[in-house]
Amino acid sequence: MATFCCPIETEPKTMNQVELNHAREVAVGVLKDNKPSEATRILHEGMKPVIRIEEMAKAIERKDTISRLEGESTTIEAVCQCSITSVPEQSSLKEPLSAPF
């Protein structure tokens, strides 16, 4: 089963300015090409999650089980990027109390 190393890894990614401009252009195109009710439906569907986190965890677990049965190993344990135990000079840094946005 997949485990997340840090809470910040589960936070949604933010978009840069180019991605924001592209999203605005696409939204304007949807509004121009469709009736208001249809455009609203299309834009709101994008806000719904495609798959719930629990379902994704189950899918990953099934894939890992199938891989083990087939004799393949796809799970690689790695040291967390935000782990400060391996770098002594960073041990004095304080963790943020909340997300940066």
Domain positions in the chain: 7-90
80 three-class SS: coil
Instruction: Compute the half-sphere exposure of residue 17: CA atoms within 13 Å on the CB side of its CA.
Output: 0
pTM: 0.35
Supply the pLDDT for residue 2: 54
Give the pLDDT confidence score for residue 90 in this predicted structure. Answer: 53
What token pair was written down for 91? 């041990």
CA 59 to chain centre: 16
Task: Give residue-wise pLDDT tens across range 10-62.
Answer: 666 777 788 888 888 988 988 898 888 888 888 887 656 567 778 878 888 88
Q: What pLDDT, in 10s, does the model give residues 49-96?
A: 567 778 878 888 888 777 777 765 555 565 555 555 554 555 565 665
Place of tokens 């485990």: 3
